[in-house]
Structure 1
Amino acid sequence: MNTAQHGRRIRLSAGALAVLLALVGAAFLGIGIHAQEHAPQPPASAAIPYSTTATHSTSPTPSAATPGPRSAGAVTGPVLNASIPTRLDIPAIGVSSTLIELGLNPDHSVQVPPQGRDSRAGWYRYSPTPGALGPAVLLGHVDSVQYGPGVFFKLGALRPGTLLTVTRADHTAAVFRVDRVVSYPKDRFPTLEVYGNTDHAALRLITCGGAFNLSSHSYENNIVAYASLVSSHAA
């Protein structure tokens, strides 16, 4: 297979990145102070700095929001042709969600999944499709005032080695294994580590976490689950 055609890269302007991080880390994911339960958090040890092949930055608005493509020779692990994701299943935390497509609003801010009783995750369509080369991005609510726990309420309970499946429009199921789960303070979010180019088919699951700040009416952290493609099969 020609991996060059699978190297679609996330297209986020610096402004869009800033809005995305603000939304993912704040009101986008609900106001958990009213929730009946507190969402599980990753262990503190998961926040130890971790070296990856992605470019790193602690700035939420990097000057290079779209790193250059890697050569085909640098690709590691399985890679699939591009295909729109339709469903996410994470049995370990009870997630079974159809996926909606998320794009950009007229003001170039990133769209987010609608709040509702049927909380669903969304795929940011300017990121690679899950299974293709690069970091596919899925966003989901942790909770909301009106509806309680959201689709990613238990994301912080994921542990390395957990398997999850993304079903795609081409009737393949892409199987990912969780590499690590990290809770980042919003003001130290490593933008390029999360969204930057990778040498493999990667997945980023993002929600909000940490303590709820009564002054800002938002959560103080983002929870990010990093995963890598390990196999695929017919859906």
Structure 2
Amino acid sequence: MRRAIALAAAGLLAVLVGIALLREPAERASARAAIHPVVNRGTVPTISSSAPPSRSSARQRGPGTVAAGAHLRIARLGVDSRVVPVRVHDGVMGVPRDPQVVGWWRDGAAPGDAGGTAVLVGHVNYAGVDGAFARLPDLRPGDPVRLDEPGAHLRYRVVAVRTYPKARGLPAIAFTRSGPPRLVLITCGGPFDATTGNYEDNVVVWAVPA
């Protein structure tokens, strides 16, 4: 499958197709997808429901970037993944080839910015290898999420986990550059369509500063 998130503008950016992963045998991918049923936990934050970001030390970089050496850490999932910038090309957001590396959408808000939604994308699997976000649907409201950079430790808590059909897209708030700070983690889920080589859904974790 292609490693991509397709985007379209509808006032604000919204995902139409979602992350697609490297093609693998249909029966194998279907088996993986079958363990991730539709998820509907917690309450998705509104445009005014987030608090200012919390950090254990002052940020050592300007707004709108992620420092080299940044790592995403999710204790419940055992995730400790390097974070690298990704961009949109011809309406498609790239996802890092390494399944254990997470991509940050560099044209949106950055984690720790005073406002806007920071978007992190990752693989559920890639070429038969579990990705950093393979167990993303297992997260629960209240679970801690950290993004550690040299000199700064940003803390978030999960408030909602949702499954969205790719055919319907994601809420525009997932990509807004304004409003209170939020973090969203996005991967694939749901049934696997062997004809298109894509999963039919996106799994999205919503988090707010802790």
**TM-score, with normalisation over the residues of structure 2?**
0.76
- Letter of the structure 1 residue corresponding to residue 94 of structure 2: Q
- Residue 191 of structure 1 is matched in structure 2 by 171
Deviations 1:111-162 (A, max 9, x none): 2211x4x521111111111121110000000002x24211100001001000
Correspondence 1:182-221 to 2 at 5 A: 182-196=162-176, 199-221=179-201
- In structure 2, the partner of 1:113 is 96
Residue by residue, what CA displacement relative to the aligned partner does 1:95-123 show, whole Å, maximum 9, x if unpaired? 11011110133x35322211x4x521111
SS of residue paired to 1:175: strand
Count how many residue pairs are aligned between Structure 1 and Structure 2.
Answer: 190
1:89 is matched with: 73
More strand by share: 2
Describe the shift of the 1:191–1:42 C-alpha distance in structure 2 as closer, same or farther (beyond 3 A). Answer: same
Counterpart CA distance in 2 for 1:17 and 1:29 is 24
CA separation of 1:33 and 1:165: change in aligned 2, threshold 3 A: farther
Q: How far, CA to CA, are the matches of 1:226 and 1:41 in structure 2? A: 17
Give yes or no for the alignment of 1:159 onto 2:152: no
> Structure 1 residue 38 and structure 2 residue 32: aligned?
yes
Structure 1 Cα separation of the partners of residues 38 and 17 of structure 2: 23
State whether structure 2 residue 155 is matched by structure 1 residue 175. Answer: yes
Shift of 1:197: 5.1
One-letter code aligned to 1:38: R
Q: Evaluate the alpha carbon distance shift between residue 152 and residue 175 of structure 1 in structure 2; reply closer, same or farther with a 3 A threshold.
A: same
Answer yes or no: is 1:99 the counterpart of 2:61.
no
Check whether the contact 2:18–2:202 (CA below 8 A) recurs between aligned residues: no
Q: Give the number of the structure whose residues are more often helix, by fraction.
A: 1
Number of the residue aligned with 2:3: none
Residues 225 and 76 of structure 1, relative CA distance in 2, 3 Å threshold: closer
* C-alpha spacing 1:119/1:181, structure 2 compared with 1 (3 Å): same
- Compared with structure 1, are the counterparts of its residues 45 and 152 closer, same or farther at alpha carbon in structure 2 (3 Å cutoff)? closer
CA contact (8 A) 1:89 1:95 kept: yes
Point out where structure 2 has 5 or more consecutive residues left out of the alignment.
1-6
- 1:57 corresponds to: none
Once the two structures are aligned, what percentage of the paired residues are identical?
A: 31
Give SS of 2:174's match. Answer: helix
- Two-structure CA RMSD over aligned residues (Å): 3.0
Q: Given that residues 141 and 152 in structure 1 are in contact (C-alpha distance below 8 angstroms), is that contact kept between their aligned partners in structure 2?
A: yes
TM-score (norm 1): 0.69
Query: 1:209 and 1:177, CA in 2 relative to 1: closer, same or farther beyond 3 A?
Result: same
- Matched letter for residue 17 of structure 2: A
In structure 1, how many angstroms separate the alpha carbons of the residues matched to 2:91 and 2:160?
30
Q: Note the alpha carbon deviations across 1:28-72, whole angstroms, 9 max, x for none.
A: 3654742596355366443x9x56434xxxxxxxxxxxxxxxxxx
Q: Does 1:139 align with 2:121?
A: yes
The answer on whether the counterparts of 1:29 and 1:207 sit within 8 Å (CA) in structure 2 is: no
Counterpart contact for 1:23–1:29, Cα < 8 Å: no
| Higher gyration radius (CA) | 1
